[in-house]
Amino acid sequence: MLLLTVLSSLPAARASRVLGETRRVLRPGGLILVYEPRMPNVANRETRLVRRVELERDSRLEASVALTLLPALARRLGQLTPRLYPALAACPALLTHRLSSYRRDALVRREAR
């Protein structure tokens, strides 16, 4: 299952319920990928920041990685993209989104404890 900027478009309480329901219906061996902003979007006040702690609230987060170079910067690289993008993407402060994962097998093991 894939949630692309879904949680940041919902109020926090509703987003928590959506994530919980997504986990509940995930088949054994399944994977949930959640792609959300990791910094406020001043250009879109209709979205909210989803903090990592919100994704980790119930300790079921399997992995989380920052990615997506600041789009306004990435668009300006032009022909230098192949050389500059990797170096700029290595700077966490320039990464605007987070990809987090939940695997059904990990959920079952943790619930069995």
Which among 20, 10, 50, 84 has a CA at the least distance from the CA of 1? 20
Q: What is the CA radius of gyration of the chain?
A: 16
Longest CA pairwise span in the chain (Å): 53
Domain boundaries, the chain: 2-68+97-112
95-103 and 2-4 strand pairing: unpaired
Residue with tokens 């695997």: 103
Which among 63, 62, 64, 47 has a CA at the least distance from the CA of 12? 47
71-108: pLDDT as tens digits: 999 999 999 999 999 999 999 999 999 999 988 775 55
Q: At 84, which amino acid appears?
A: L
What CA–CA distances, in Å, run from 6 to 17, 18, 61, 110? 12, 9, 17, 25
φ, ψ at 5 (rounded to 5°): 50, 35
Q: For the whole model, what pTM was predicted? A: 0.82
47-62: pLDDT as tens digits: 999 888 888 876 577 8
